[in-house]
A and B are shown apart, each in its own frame.
Chain A
Amino acid sequence: MTGDVGLIPLIPERTRVVDWHRVGAVTLRWTAAILGALAIFSVLLVAKGSSPTEVFVDMWISTFGRAKSVEEIIIKMAPIVLAALAVAVPARAGLTNVGGQGQLIIGAVAAAGTALLLDGMLPGTVVFILMIVAGMTAGAAWAGIAALLRLTVKVNEAVSTLLLNFVALDLLLFLIYQPWRESSTGQPSTRELADAAKIPVVTGTGVNIGILLAVIAAAAVYFVLNYTRWGFRISVAGGNPEAARRAGMPVAALLLSALLVGGALAGLAGMINFAGTEYKLRPGFGASFGYLGFLASWLAAHKPLPILVAAFVFAALAVGGDSLQLDAQLPAATVNILTALILVAVLGWTRSKEKAL
């Protein structure tokens, strides 16, 4: 009996049995999906006049063959993991958070604001902690706007979070073009974060410990979703709100909390990207980590541990894009094709068809 193990998963029996046929079928479909994506990408490269084999070999070597690139992948992975978790937690409550990008930006803005105000006055560690708090709070608040709109006037959160992304982006640009701008000449940006408040780097490498925070967050989300009462409650509220209401659960509070947690995770992603990688706000800050996180969460079916894998794949592809530009003289954004094709294959051909319209 499982009662003695200490922790019992929500779905005890199901997770215990490994159905090798299913595992085999799933592996097969994923392999086919990825091969299909690579094949189409090759055809496009040929159409453009490049040699697919050369491009792939170059990409592979420069992505995984250089220590610098591997570090780069790990650095990029952290915000993607957190942005994906920001989608996965609300998804458990039946909510679609398309707003990771905006929450990430707002988290970074709050962290940067905190730093601009305090990093000259307080010790680095204190500023660092305050930035985390500010980033997460701001991300949660930004998601909270969407949650409140949903709970009060029933505006769907997918729409409102999406729209809020652009408001956040415009707010960021507004700030760095004027009030927070370091100098009126050159590229608009804020001044650089004080060294003491930057996220520590693993000794001997260029990798900041953001990845550690991201992995811990993924493990924590896995634990919370699967082993806590809150995790169970949000699954019920997400699966059938009426059933949850009849069981006396505070459905509104559960939905609100799930979206707030999501926003806080995205806010943390923004903070890490600011204090660990970019050190200043500039146009193009945060790349499209929020959207990549959204897609990574879908790729991983909103499961925290597979999200780590999906985020690694996307981060590697993003780094591979940079090497594409250097080695094959193709635009870095070309690699988005591969990212998208993998998702097209996975969204369209690796899940059961029962939900087709």
Chain B
Amino acid sequence: MAHPSSSTPPILSVTGFTKHFGEVKANTGVNLDVLAGEVHALVGENGAGKSTLLKMIYGIYEPDSGEMQIDGARVEPGNPAEARGLGIGMVFQDLRLVPALTVAENVALSLPGGQLLRLDAIAKKIEHASAQHGLAVHPKAKVRHLSIGERQRVEILKVLMTGARLVILDEPTSVLAPQEVDALFSVVRQLRDSGFGVVIVTHKLGEVRAIADRVTVLRGGVPILEGVDPAGYTNDELIEAMVGRAVDTIQADRTPGAKHDDDRPVLHLVDVRALGDRGHEALKGISFEVRRGELVGIAGVAGSGQRELCEVALGLRPTSAGRVILSGTETRRPTDAIRAGAVSVPEDPVSDAVVSRLSVLEHMALDGRALPRKGVGIDWAAIRRKTHTANERMQLRIAPPHRRVSELSGGNIQRVVLTRELSIDCSLVVAAYPSRGLDVANVNRTQEILLERRRGGAGVLMVSEDLDELMAIADRIVVMHDGHVSGIVDYADFDRQYIGRLMLGGAA
């Protein structure tokens, strides 16, 4: 590993960055320094303050206090353009390219220049830079036609061509397939060897070990580890730094007695194929079943087909082949699934469940069951009673019924959806990332409710990005990789390493 001499000042040095949004202490006294020729991993759970830190460095937020130096000189970038002028380049997680434009046009957008676009000259520059940094791109291809990995390469190239010496990659691997991750890492290594400073945000330990020279861990906006060599720490120590506790989740009772005697499948997928939103084949022949009284976890790298799987099971997405059978009847439409007794927690409640003008009470009526009638109208008193009962039973403390849902935070919205869906008497629960946006107490409560539904004889299909959560409560884990089921692991065989290999598409 490259270890530059300590006499040259770091490219970037942040000391004591603090940023509070009202009650929320996003960053408190955060330090970060990045040397030329090193890869510095910035690690932490969702909400640990990583994005806030990056936004301050990139001039989007102004820190409440603290200071920042570039090459030893104090700087205060007031906006991203100024930050770029200082040699800071940022590759956002949601890539900021314009799909309808070509690679060259996208690059031209961020390069200074005259009114006339010299696209051929830019194309030449791109080819030159892409050869230099090992980033293969076609300058005249439309971005719309590129894969996510290719788009990321364009973003990195763009950042390099605008003269960045410090490259910040915000969770670059979360959208990539494993082989693309390898390609990205070889690019990152090449950048490091050519003397660039690289900050890579991640929450995957394996990636820290694979690529980082040093690591900074944030938890709750506070630095726990500051620029340490990860080799000096065990995995458990790093995890503890991230989550602050020895992972202490519910351990479900998986004794066979907990299973229902009648273990007919409530969900049966037979060689299901389906297209994703971008027209690619997202499910490539999925077969498994969820029986009554069973909690099946779905593990996999983000974008392996989990979303499409849930939607297919609920009749929300048409299949191109295969059969989806809920409680013995074939499901093709959302109403089929509802009639078969399925309830669901969507992956993204804000875009899939929230109707901005409506109140909490009105959302409680959107459970897919028939609206209680009162003449030609709706019996709101009945829904109010139902809401009250559900809230008592679920104990997730939802917001008052008259509040507009659009005014609630993500966690509050999630609690409304969870309370509504999980209070319904059902045969199948399809829960995508049910604990997203919740605090620890509510995460535990949600897991308890899911286990209650399981004990009550429902089948539960639960998608999570947190393998520990799945291992704690699932009876079986179905591992998905690139639209396939790469393995199905029973409780008795749960093993992190093994499941991790399956997630990456490794042989079973």
Residues in chain A within 8 A of chain B (CB atoms): 1-3, 7-8, 10-14, 227-229, 232, 235-236, 239-240, 242-248
Question: Within the assembled complex, what's the spacing in Å between the Cα atoms of A243 and B349?
Answer: 9
Asked whether any CB of chain A lies closer than 8 Å to the CB of B168, the reply is: no
B-to-A contact residues, CB < 8 Å: 314, 316, 334-335, 338, 344, 346, 351-359, 361-362, 365-368, 371, 373-374, 376-378, 380-381, 384, 401-402, 404
Interchain CB contact under 8 A, A2 and B380: yes
B380 near A228 with CB under 8 A, answer: no
B402 touches A2 (CB 8 A): no
Q: 10 closest Cβ contacts across the A-B interface?
A: A13-B402, A3-B381, A239-B355, A248-B368, A247-B366, A8-B380, A248-B338, A240-B355, A248-B335, A247-B368
Q: How far is the CA of A8 from the CA of B375 in the complex (A)?
A: 11
A10: chain B residues within 8 A (beta carbon): 358, 362, 378, 380
Partner of A240, one of B356, B359, B365: B356
A242 surroundings in chain B (CB, below 8 A): 351-353
Partner of B378 from A1, A2, A232, A248 at Cβ < 8 Å: A232
Contacting pair B376 A245 (CB below 8 A): no
CA distance A12 to B365 in the complex (A): 14
Report whether B377 and A228 are in contact in the complex, using a CB–CB cutoff of 8 Å: yes
Q: How far is the CA of A12 from the CA of B297 in the complex (A)?
A: 40
- Determine if B377 and A239 form an interchain contact, defined as CB atoms under 8 angstroms apart: no
Contact of B359 among A7, A11, A246, A247 (CB under 8 A): A11
Contact partner of B362 (CB less than 8 A), chosen from A2, A3, A11, A246, is: A11
Interchain CB contact (< 8 A) of A248 among B334, B356, B362, B384: B334
Answer whether A12 and B352 are a contact pair too, CB < 8 Å, given A246-B314, A248-B334, A248-B338: no
Is B373 a contact of A246 with CB atoms below 8 Å?
no
How many A-B residue contacts, CB cutoff 8 Å?
86
State how many angstroms separate the Cβ of A128 from the closest Cβ of chain B: 28
Complex contacts, A245 vs chain B, CB 8 Å: 316, 334
Give the nearest-CB partner of A14 in chain B: B402
Cβ–Cβ contact B381 & A2, under 8 A? yes
Q: What is the CA–CA distance of A10 and B352 in the complex, to the nearest angstrom?
A: 21
Which residue from chain B places its CB closest to the CB of A251 in the assembled complex? B334
Task: Decide if B352 touches A243 in the complex (CB within 8 Å).
Answer: yes
Given A13-B359, A243-B352, A246-B314, A228 contacting B376 (CB threshold 8 A): yes
New contact pairs (12) apart from A13-B402, A246-B344, CB-CB < 8 Å: A3-B380, A3-B381, A8-B381, A229-B376, A236-B366, A240-B352, A242-B351, A243-B354, A245-B316, A245-B334, A246-B316, A246-B334
A248 / chain B contacts, CB cutoff of 8 Å? 334-335, 338, 368
Residues of A within 8 A of B335 (CB): 248
A320 to B80, CA, bound (A): 55
User: Is B371 within 8 A of A229, CB to CB?
Assistant: yes
Q: Which residues of A sit under 8 angstroms from B316, Cβ to Cβ?
A: 245-246
The answer to whether B358 and A236 touch across the interface, beta carbons within 8 angstroms, is yes
CB-contact partner of A229 in B346, B355, B378, under 8 A: B378
Contact of B355 among A8, A13, A14, A243 (CB under 8 A): A243
List residues of chain B with CB within 8 A of the CB of A244. Answer: 355, 366
Chain A residues near B366 (CB-CB < 8 A): 236, 243-244, 247
* Residues B368 and A246 in contact, CB atoms below 8 Å apart: yes
Q: How far, in whole Å, are A240 and B374 apart by their CA atoms in the complex?
A: 25
Complex Cα distance, B377 from A228, in Å, reads 4
Most A CB within 10 A of own CB, among B356, B358, B377: B377
Minimum CB–CB distance for A351 against chain B, Å = 14
Residues in B with CB closer than 8 Å to A240 are 351-356
> How far, in angstroms, from A118 to B355 measured CA to CA in the complex?
48
- 25 A-B pairs with CB atoms under 8 Å apart are A1-B381, A3-B380, A3-B381, A11-B362, A11-B402, A13-B359, A13-B402, A227-B376, A227-B377, A229-B376, A232-B362, A232-B365, A235-B357, A236-B366, A239-B357, A240-B354, A240-B356, A242-B351, A244-B366, A245-B316, A246-B316, A246-B353, A246-B368, A247-B366, A248-B368
- Closest residue of A by beta carbon distance from B353: A243
Q: Please report the C-alpha to C-alpha distance between residue A7 and residue B381 in the assembled complex, in whole angstroms.
A: 10
Residue on A with the closest CB to B362?
A10
A205 to chain B, nearest CB (A): 35
B14 to chain A, nearest CB (A): 33
How far, in whole Å, are A246 and B367 apart by their CA atoms in the complex?
Answer: 8
Closest Cβ–Cβ distance, residue A68 to chain B (whole Å): 42
Q: Which chain A residues lie closer than 8 Å to B376 at the CB level?
A: 227-229
B479 CB to closest chain A CB (Å) equals 26
Is the CB–CB distance between B344 and A235 below 8 Å?
Answer: no
Asked if B353 and A8 sit within 8 Å, CB to CB, the answer is: no
> With contacts A3-B381, A247-B368, A248-B368 known, is A236 near B355, CB below 8 A?
yes
Alpha-carbon distance between A3 and B377 when the two chains are bound, in angstroms:
12
| Chain A positions within 8 Å of B344 at CB level | 246
In the complex the two chains form, is A7's CB within 8 Å of B377's CB? Answer: yes
Q: Complex formed: what's the CA distance from A232 to B338 in Å? A: 19
Q: For the complex, give the distance between the alpha carbons of A243 and B420 in Å.
A: 13
Complex Cα distance, B361 from A232, in Å, reads: 12
Residue of A with least CB distance to B336: A248
A119 to chain B, nearest CB (A): 36
Interchain CA distance A232-B288 in the complex, whole Å = 38
Contact with B367, one of A2, A14, A227, A247 (Cβ below 8 angstroms) = A247
A7 to B367: give the CA distance in the assembly, Å: 22
Q: Are B314 and A14 in contact (CB under 8 A)?
A: no
| Chain B residues within 8 Å of A239, by CB | 355-358
Contact A246 B380, beta carbon cutoff 8 Å: no
Q: How far is the CA of A229 from the CA of B365 in the complex (A)?
A: 11
Q: Report Cα–Cα, A1/B382, bound state, in Å.
A: 12
Closest CB in chain B relative to A139 CB, distance in Å: 24
Q: Closest residue to A230 on the B side, CB-wise?
A: B376
Shortest B331–chain A CB gap in Å is: 12
Q: Is the CB of B338 within 8 A of A12?
A: no
